[in-house]
Structures are given as C-alpha cells and as structure tokens.
Amino acid sequence: MYLPLAVSVLLWFIGPRLTRLLHPATAVRLLTITALVTALGTGFVLAVAGFVVVAQLGPVAAVGHWSVAILKSGDSVPIPVGAVAGAAAVALVIATSHRMFRAGRDLAAAALLCRSLPADAGGLVVWKDDRPEAFALPGLRGRVVVSTAMLRALPTDERRVLLAHESAHLRCHHQLYLQCADLAAAANPFLRPTAAAVRSAVERWADEIAAEDVGDRQLAARALARAALARARVGPNRPDGKILLSAALHAVESGVPIRAQALLSPPPPRRPTLALAVTTLILVTAAAVVETAHDTEIGFEQAATSFGTTH
C-alpha cells in the first residue's frame, strides 16, 4: 500500500535529474506516464486507507454488512493514519478537479482562438505587433503565432529554427504531456518538481527537433539566444490579452541559457538502460496498486462473510 507514496518521494528527488540524463523525448514520455501512474496510485491507496477506517464505524459497517472485528484484524490501517489519509484524498480530489476545470477552460479558449485566427497552409499566423512574440497555440488545428517584431529580430535562417521549434510543439502534441503532468502534480504535490521538469524537457525536445530540421545545432542555439534577447529587451508583459493563454507554448519562456548550452553540445544519448529502469518503476507501482486493490477486496469479502456470525 505504501509503495506509491514512496515512489512519490523518490520522484521529488530524481525527477528533474532524469530529464538531464535521458533524451528529452524519452524523458517527457516516461516521466509523464510515471507521474500519472504514481498520482493515481497514491490517490487510490489514500482513498482505500480512509475508506477502511470509515467502514469500521458501526452505522457504516451495518449498512455494508461488514464485520468490524474482521476489518480491524490483520494488517488494518491505524485509525489516525486512515483518517488523515481520507482527508488528504478528499483535498487532493478537489485540487485535481479544480486543475482539470482550468485545463479544460484554457484548451477550449485556445481552440476557439485558433479558429478565429487566419493562417497559411502550414498553420502559421503572423501577428502584427511591436513586441517580439512566438508561441504554439494548441487545438484541433493548432497555430504557430509569430509577431512581426520577432520576425524582424531574427535573420532568415534563424526564423526557420524558431518556426521549426513551435511546429514541433504542435506536431508532437506537447500540450497533452504538460496537462497530464500538471494534473498529476495537482493530485500529488510531491510530483510538482517532476511536472516542472517535464515542462523544461518539452522545450528541450522541441529544440532538438528544430536543430535536426535545420541541420545545424549552433544555428539553433543562436536563434534561441537571439529570440530570448529580443524578448528581454522589451520586458515580459504582452500587449494583447487575447493571446495571453496558459495553454500556449512559448519558445523562449524559460531555461534559455541551459537549453542553448545543450544545443552547443552533441545530441543527447538515448540511455536505454535508464529508460528501462524508469519503465520498471512504472510497472512496479502499478502492480502495487493492483495488489492493494486485491487485498482490500479480499478483506471486505471476509468481513462480509463473517458479518452474520458476529451480529
């Protein structure tokens, strides 16, 4: 029962480090799945622990036809622990529901904005603006939005890098990974560093795709640095609220020095052994949840069978 909680604490420490050791594409996929499985598993075991304590209350046991003596025997959860676990499960469900509502609202707003924006055949929208901006707007037909100021700030070859980066966000559905990681972090606060690491790895993944598309890693690093410098010169505020969406993925939002340094280095290795170890962690966590569900079911079946003999 306690394994998902232990994995949560483990990810708090190693999640960000894994994004530096694994290839960005592998890190995003594996860490997102790991976070989701861990969050679901943690929520499940907290709910089970709380329910086992509630089920021991006389009126509840009578309704469920469960023997309180059987529920208290064996590896029963201590009442204080179960009470705290149940309260935590309720609080995390509320937090996750709130995050899901926000995610749905943001994605719907992005989809509506996509439909209203004119675009060429490649989904590119050139936004007339005196502030350097570039971002990917997800939707059924996503858009790459670039301001005229950003286009003026970059030479032609570096524009190709920027557009390839933003197109990679849409092509690889990066927003789905980010939303799933953020939901997992809402359901389990220990996963917040992992969710932040996924966001950084998504940008690194898009950087690698852009560098591969243009065939020049130094060019990709220069484009990233020049775009970030152009943004820094005018400050962080954006003039038009319609394009200020949390669902948008901005090319130069954060981590630019580290990302540029990575592009000046050789392409990151795949590290199949480490990826296999993370996959094993996912499977072990899922197996622990299944085992907890099985043991809990057996315990309540025994309590139901003994109900008639103890009452």
Predicted confidence (pLDDT) per residue in 110-131, tens digit = 878 877 777 665 688 888 888 8
Length of the chain: 311
pLDDT at 9: 94
Closest C-alpha among 143, 137, 110 to residue 124: 143
pLDDT at 243: 47
pTM of the model: 0.87
**C-alpha dist (Å) from residue 249 to 8, 48, 109, 184, 272:** 27, 38, 14, 19, 29
Closest C-alpha among 178, 143, 164, 156 to residue 28: 178
Instruction: Decide: helix, strand or coil at residue 66.
Output: coil
pLDDT at 7: 93
pLDDT at 137: 85
Give the Cα separation of 311 and 275 in Å (integer).
Answer: 54
Structure tokens given for 45: 């075991």
pLDDT in tens, 137-151: 887 778 898 999 999
Give the Cα separation of 129 and 28 in Å (integer).
Answer: 33
The residue with tokens 């509506």 is 112
Give the Cα separation of 252 and 203 in Å (integer).
Answer: 9
Rg, the chain, Cα only: 24
**Lowest-confidence region among 133-137, 190-194, 287-291:** 133-137
pLDDT in tens, 4-23: 899 999 999 999 999 989 99
Q: Are 36 and 216 in contact (CB under 8 A)?
A: no
pLDDT in tens, 62-84: 888 888 888 777 566 777 888 88
Structure tokens given for 259: 């990302």
pLDDT at 308: 59
The number of helices, as runs of H, and strands, as runs of E, in the chain is: 13, 4
- DSSP code, position 74: S
Q: Are 168 and 209 in contact (CB under 8 A)?
A: yes
pLDDT at 241: 44
